[in-house]
Amino acid sequence: MDRLGVRSTIVVFGSARVPCPSEAARRLAEAEKAHREHPDDPARREALRVARAHSDQSHYYDLAREFSALASRHCQRSGCREFVVITGGGGGLMEAGNRGASDVGAVSIGLNITLPFEQIPNPYITPELSFQFHYFSIRKMHFLRRARALCAFPGGFGTMDELFEALTLIQTHKIPRIPVVLFGTEYWSDVIHWESFVQRGLISPDDLKLFHMSDNAVEGWNHIRQFYGDTTT
C-alpha cells in the first residue's frame, strides 16, 4: 500500500453470500426447478428459501457497487490515492465494492482470509493490492489502520464482528472518530434492536450517533464528505 501511494481507505463490509442480481436470479431459477422435481425434499426446500432470500437482497450488490464507484471517482480522479476502497476480498457484497472501484478505473484493496472452505479473491481487486491473511486479528487491524470511513452492508457474523469492533474502538477512543455508514435501513433495524441497548442502560443515547443509516449511495457518500467538511462537487 505504501509503495502504491495508498494514503487512506474506505472500508466496505458485507456478506459474501449475496450475489449480483443476475447471478441471484440464475440460482433462484435452479432452486425452483430442483424443488419442483422433488417437492418433499427438505434440503431442496431450504435451498429454495435461501435462494429467494438472496434474490430479495441482491439489490444491495448494486448499491455497494454504486457507492464504491462514486467514492472512488471522487477521491482518485486527480491521481491521488485517498479513500481507496478496501474489502474482505471475497465474493458477494465484497466483490461489489471492488467492482465499483474497477468500474471507474480506480484501484482497490482486498484482504482475503484463509478459511476451512476456500475463499478465492474476487477478480476486481487491484492485483498488487490483493493480500492473504491467516489471522482475523491482524486482518482487522489492517482494515482500520488507514480507514477514514467504514461502510457496512448486510452481512452475517463476520460483518457483525468487524462492525462492532470498529464501533467499540471509536466508542472507547482507541481510534479517532470516523464516519460509520450502515447501508440498508430495513436490514439493520430488523436484525439489531439498537434502541434496546439504550433502554437497558448498556450504552448511552449518544452512542447511537456513532453510526448513520442510509439506503442511497449518494446520500451515504455525502454523509462521509460532510463529516470531513468536504463541499466540493
Residue 40: its pLDDT value, please? 93
DSSP, residue by residue, 12-31: EE--SS---HHHHHHHHHHH
Q: Phi and psi of 181, rounded to 5°?
A: -115, 125
Confidence band, pLDDT 50/70/90 cuts, at residue 114: confident
Q: Please, which residues have CB within 8 angstroms of residue 133's CB and are 6 or more apart in sequence?
A: 111, 112, 113, 114, 139, 142
Provide the mean pLDDT of the chain: 95
Burial of 32 by CB count in 10 Å (0-12 exposed, 13-18 middle, 19+ buried)?
Answer: middle
**SS (HEC) of 171-221:** HCCCCCCCCEEEECHHHHHHHCCHHHHHHCCCCCHHHHHHCEEECCHHHHH
pTM of the full structure: 0.94
CA angle 182/8/142 to nearest 5° reads 75
pLDDT surpasses 70 at 140: yes
